[in-house]
Amino acid sequence: MEVDLSAYNNDWYTPGNAIKRFCWHYTNLVFLKSGLFPIYGFKVFLLKMFGAKIGNGVFIKPYVNIKYPWFLTVGNNVWIGEDVWIDNLAPITIGDDVCISQGALLLTGSHDHTSVKFGLIVKPIILQKGVWVCAKSIICAGVTCHSHAVITAGSVVSQHCDAYGIYKGNPAIKIKVRTIT
């Protein structure tokens, strides 16, 4: 058997009505994905207007790309760094005091590589309280990073991460336990 992309069909996936997605696409492009509006509060306001649930003290740096804010929940005192891509085809929950550093990618979608039709797969991501996703890291669909886990720079996480675990590499493996003093 071979993959036949002409047979691909994701009609089952409905991330919101077309007008809402169209309006968000251009709002995201102008106000979040660009560096033209560095005002954190205004970005939070726009995200909330499109259905995101966002706490207090949230800082969103320039050049952040968010696919669908209506699938986004963010706690209090969260930092989202430059060039972060939140590709949330499914819900993403970000707990309090989470830091997502520059260039990180939260990726809730993939494809079924075993299917001729190469079907779409979507699974949520959960980043619990105190998690640090370091620069250029990737968190894959279906992953929960438990409380205060650290994902070191450039790591790729495709499995759940233990609380206070420090993970490194591709695939990311636990290298030690985080101690906070």
Which pair of tokens denotes residue 101? 């550093």
pLDDT (tens digit per residue) in 21-51 = 999 999 999 999 998 888 899 999 999 999 9
Average pLDDT over residues 160-175: 98
Instruction: Give the separation between CA 96 and CA 154, rounded to whole angstroms.
Output: 23
All domains in the chain, ordered by first residue: 5-10+17-177 (2.160.10.10)
In the chain, % of residues over pLDDT 90: 97
> Do residues 49 and 23 make contact, with C-beta atoms less than 8 angstroms apart?
no
Predicted local distance difference test score (pLDDT) of residue 1: 87
Report residue 180 CA to chain centroid gap. Answer: 25
pLDDT (tens digit per residue) in 110-157 = 999 999 999 999 999 999 999 999 999 999 999 999 999 999 999 999
User: Quick one: DSSP state of residue 31?
Assistant: I
pLDDT (tens digit per residue) in 80-109 = 999 999 999 999 999 999 999 999 999 999
Which residue bears the tokens 């800082």? 59
> Do residues 28 and 22 make contact, with C-beta atoms less than 8 angstroms apart?
no
Predicted local distance difference test score (pLDDT) of residue 156: 98
- The model carries a pTM of 0.96
Total residues found in the chain within this entry: 181
Confidence of residue 170 (pLDDT cuts 50, 70, 90): very high
Predicted local distance difference test score (pLDDT) of residue 173: 98
| Mean pLDDT rounded to a whole number for the chain | 97
